Structure 1
Amino acid sequence: MTQNSILNHSRALEGVHGVQVAPHSPFDLTETTQNEDFHTSTGRTSTTEANQQLLMQIEIYNNVHTTNLLLTCTRRLWHQRPACLRPIHCSISCHGDQNLAERFANVVTSIPFIALGIHAPRKNINSKLYANSLIGVGVASSMYHSSRGRLRKFLRWVDYTMIATTTVCLSMALRNENPKLLMAASAIFLPVNPMMVSVIHTGMMEVAFAKRALKDPDLRMAHTVHKMSSLIGCMLFVADDLFPKTPYLHAAWHLAAAVGVGTCNKLLE
C-alpha cells in the first residue's frame, strides 16, 4: 500500500461520525521501544554501580574497623607487658646515697671493678672487650654515685647499661659462637632494658661455670666462692630495693658482686 492510498483511506474515514484519525508514523513504535530499552538499560547500570560503591564502602569500613581493633589490642598488650620488658626508670632522687659517708663508700667500692678489669685475662679480642667493659662498670658506677641533679638520672642508665654490656662481653668471651638471634636481641634491648639483658647472660654464664667446674677440679673452689658471693649479692640487691633507707647496703652489694666477678675471671685463664 502506497502513501497516497493511506491518505485517501484516512480522508474517507474522516467523514464517518465519531471517528477521528490522528496522524501516525510507522516509526513511532520502533522509536518508543528503543527509548524504553535505553532507559531500562540505564537504570540497571546505575543500580549495579550503586551496589558496587556500597560494597566498596562496606569493605573499607570493615578494614578500618579491623585495623583500629588491632591497634587497640596492641596498645593494651604493650601497656600490660611485664616489668622485664619495660625500660628502666630512675628518678633524680634514686636511693643509695643518703649522705656523704654513704656516697663515699659507694664510690670506693666501685674501684675494685676497675682493678678486676685491669688484671683480667686478655687472650683474644673478646676477652679484651670483657676486661675493658669491667673498667667501664667501675667508672660508670663511680660517676653515678658521685653525681647530683638531673645528670644523676642519665648516669644511672649508663651504670645499668655498662653492667649489661659486661655480661654480653663475658658470654662472647666464654663461647666462640653465640646464637645470632640472641645477640641481635641483646643489642636491641641493651639500651632499653639492660636489666633483662644482664639476667639472661648472667644465667648463661652460671650454666657455663657449673659445667666447667664439674670437669675441672681446679675450678671447684672458685665456683663454690662464686655461688656464695652470688647468693649474698642477690640478697643484698633485693634488700637494697626493699629497704632503701638502710645505709651501706648498696656498698655491700658492690663488694659481693666484685668477688663474684673475680671468680668469673678464672674461667678465662
Structure 2
Amino acid sequence: MTPETALKPSTSRALNGVHGVHLMPHSPFSFQEIKQGDFNLSCYGAFNFRGDPRLNVQKVWQQRPACLRPINCCLNGDRSLAERVVNVLTSLPFIFLGINAPRKNLSCKLYANSLIGVGVASSLYHASRGKLKKYLRWADYTMIATATVCLSRALRNENPKLLMAASALCLPVQPLMVSAVHTGLMEVAFAKRAFQDPDLRMAHNVHKMSSLLGAALFIADDTFPETPFLHAGWHLAAAVGVGTCNKLLE
C-alpha cells in the first residue's frame, strides 16, 4: 500500500464529516523508495522509520565539527609539466637536510628521518595525478607537522606530556594547527639560544628572513593559484629555514 492509495475517495468523504478530523489536501511528507538489495524501504520525509543504527552513525559522522575533519587540500598547483618538475626538484633538499641532520640521540634521529619523510611525501605529491593527489597532499601536510613535532621534542625534552599527546591525536586531522603550535615553540627556543650564544645569531637572522619570505610565498601561493613557481619558491625558503634549525641540534 502506498501513501497515494492509503486513503480512498470513499474513505475520505466518510472521515471528512467526523468531528475533530481535518484532512489535508496534500501530505506534508514526501514519499521516496530506496532500494537496498532485494528490499524496498519506504521513507517519509526526513524520518528513518527503520531506525537503522548504521544510517544514524553515518549522519552523526557527516555532521561532525570542523576540528574533527581532515584538511581541505588545495590542488591548484602543478598546472604544467615544467611546474610539476620544478616542484619535485625543490622537494629534494629536504631529503638532503634529513640525511645530514645531527643524530646524536633518539629525538634527533626521529627528526632527521622525519625530514627525509617530508621530502619523499612532497615529491610523491607533486609527481602524482588524479584522485591519488588529494591523499598525498594530506600525507604531505601530515609529514610536515610530524617534522615540527620531532624538532620541538629534540630542542626541548621538557615539553609537557599532555601537549605531545594532544599533538599526536590532532596530527591526522589538523596537521596545520599542530605545525603552527610546534613551529612557535621552535621559534621561541631558537631566539633564546641565539640571544645566549653569539655564534647562532647569524643563523638566526637567516632563519628569520627565510621564515618571513616562506610565509609570504605560502600565502601568495594560496591567494594567487594561477601564478606559477610560487610553491617552488616556498620549498626553497622553507629548506633554508630548516637548514638553519639544524644548527641548534649540533
Q: How high is the TM-score relative to the length of structure 2?
A: 0.73
When Rg is computed on C-alpha atoms for both structures, the one with the higher figure is: 1
Corresponding position: 1:131 with 2:98: no
Distance 1:171 1:223 in 2: 16
Distance 2:68 2:214 in 1: 23
Name the structure 2 match of 1:196.
177
* Superposition map of 1:179-194 within 5 A: 179-194=160-175
Distance 1:215 1:179 in 2: 24
Corresponding position: 1:109 with 2:77: no
Corresponding position: 1:145 with 2:126: yes
Distance 2:115 2:88 in 1: 15
Runs of 4+ in 1 over 4 A off after TM superposition: none
Corresponding position: 1:245 with 2:226: yes
Structure with the bigger percentage of helix:
1
Aligned residue among 90, 100, 103 for 2:73: 90
**Counterpart residue identity of residue 149, structure 2:** V
> How many residues are paired up?
190
Q: CA deviation at 1:89?
A: 1.3
* Superposition map of 1:168-187 within 5 A: 168-187=149-168
Unaligned runs of 5+ in 2: 1-59
**Counterpart residue identity of residue 190, structure 1:** L
Q: CA deviation at 1:141?
A: 0.2
Q: CA deviation at 1:87?
A: 2.5
Secondary structure of the structure 2 residue equivalent to 1:191: coil
Structure with the bigger percentage of strand:
2
Distance 2:132 2:100 in 1: 31
Q: 128-137 vs 176-185, which deviates more?
A: 176-185
Q: How high is the TM-score relative to the length of structure 1?
A: 0.68
Q: CA deviation at 1:167?
A: 0.2
> Sequence identity of aligned pairs in percent?
75
Distance 1:121 1:96 in 2: 33
Secondary structure of the structure 2 residue equivalent to 1:160: helix
**Contact 1:85–1:196 under 8 Å retained in 2:** no
CA RMSD for the aligned pairs?
Answer: 1.7
